[in-house]
Structure 1
Amino acid sequence: MGAVLLDLNEPSKVIARSSEPLVKPETDYEINGFFGNVVFSCGAIVEGDIVKMYYGVADTSMACAELSLSEILDSLNYENFFGQ
């Protein structure tokens, strides 16, 4: 799963996106399962600088990753992408 930053007034306009996944299958329970090697977002909560990303894994379990919002924003690619 990656991150994307959209324009507040024109949400169809992409401002920046991550070049690498923020969350990817790495542990045994994320790699093995009904649909192995799959993680998918189920929602997020922002508390200060912490993003609590809840996600499904291998279609069998749920997990939560705590990520730094400032680190996510610093990692975004603001260069040309998607032809913009």
Structure 2
Amino acid sequence: MDLRQSTGRTCSCFGNAAAESFIAVLKAELGTTVWETRAQARQDVFRWIADHHNRERIHSTIGCITPYQERLRRHQRLDLAA
């Protein structure tokens, strides 16, 4: 996985901005859905992230493309560099 630990400074209001923005969009998109089980909620959130957020939603911070397109672009650059 391509994960790394947060390195934001203590008391910096910008450290959590991306996460807060993501959660706000997630809440707006899923609305006031009430699930019968935690498993159903997890499945719907995962589906929203995998299908909509990563493959359809345009992000201005990465050049007005989807996260999926950005990942493909980065992967191609790494292949070219090897």
TM range (shorter): under 0.3
Q: Under a length normalisation based on structure 2, what TM-score does the superposition of the two structures give?
A: 0.26
Structure with more contact order per residue of length (Cα contacts < 8 Å, sep ≥ 6) = 1
